[in-house]
Amino acid sequence: MNKKTIIGLCTGMSFAFSSLWLAGCTVTNSNQVSAFDPGDYPAILPYESSDMRGKHVGLISNIDIRTQLESGLMSLSKEFFPVNEVGYKNHVFLDFDELDATDGSRGLLGTLRDDNPNGLNPGADEVFDTGNGQVNGPIILVDLYEIDFYSNDQLKGISIGLAVTDKISKDGQEYEITPEAMENYLKVTSSKLVTYLRQRFNEVNNHIPILVAAYQLNTDPISVDKGGYIYEAYFNGSHTEYKTIDEKYVLVPSSEFTEMDAEMASQFNQFKNDVATVLADSTYTTGEAKFENGTCAALRLNIQTYGKTSGEILAVIQSVNEKLAVFTSLDVEYRVCIYNNKEVAALIYRPLNTTNTNVITTF
Residue-wise pLDDT for 152-210, tens only, equals 889 999 999 999 999 999 888 999 999 999 999 999 999 999 999 999 999 999 999 99
Q: Is the pLDDT of residue 10 over 60?
A: no
Provide mean pLDDT across the span 35-60.
Answer: 78
Q: Report the alpha-carbon distance of residue 101 to residue 141 in Å, rounded.
A: 11
- Whether the model clears a pTM of 0.85, i.e. scores above it, the answer is no
Q: How confident is the model at residue 282 (pLDDT cuts 50, 70, 90)?
A: low
pLDDT, one tens digit per residue, over 134-166 is 999 999 999 999 999 999 889 999 999 999 999
At 276 the three-state DSSP class reads helix
Cβ contacts of 319 within 8 Å, gap of 6 or more: 274, 275, 278
Q: Report the alpha-carbon distance of residue 141 to residue 230 in Å, rounded.
A: 14
Provide mean pLDDT across the span 330-351.
Answer: 94
Provide mean pLDDT across the span 96-108.
Answer: 85
Q: Is the pLDDT of residue 298 over 90?
A: yes
Q: Is the pLDDT of residue 22 over 70?
A: no
Q: What pLDDT does 264 receive?
A: 97
Q: Is the pLDDT of residue 132 over 50?
A: yes
Q: Is the pLDDT of residue 18 over 70?
A: no
Provide mean pLDDT across the span 223-243.
Answer: 92
Q: What pLDDT does 220 receive?
A: 87
Q: Report the alpha-carbon distance of residue 326 to residue 193 in Å, rounded.
A: 46
Provide mean pLDDT across the span 249-278.
Answer: 93
Q: In this structure, are residues 162 and 186 in contact, taking their beta carbons and an 8 Å threshold?
A: yes
Q: In this structure, are residues 144 and 108 in contact, taking their beta carbons and an 8 Å threshold?
A: yes
Q: What pLDDT does 15 receive?
A: 47
For the chain, the average pLDDT equals 87
Q: What pLDDT does 135 receive?
A: 95
What single DSSP character describes residue 324? Answer: G
Q: Report the alpha-carbon distance of residue 228 to residue 195 in Å, rounded.
A: 25
Q: Is the pLDDT of residue 55 over 70?
A: yes
Q: Is the pLDDT of residue 11 over 90?
A: no
Q: What pLDDT does 38 receive?
A: 65
Q: How confident is the model at residue 49 (pLDDT cuts 50, 70, 90)?
A: low
Q: How confident is the model at residue 27 (pLDDT cuts 50, 70, 90)?
A: low
Of 108, 79, 66, 83, nearest to 243 by C-alpha is 79
Provide mean pLDDT across the span 238-246.
Answer: 94
Q: Is the pLDDT of residue 24 over 80?
A: no
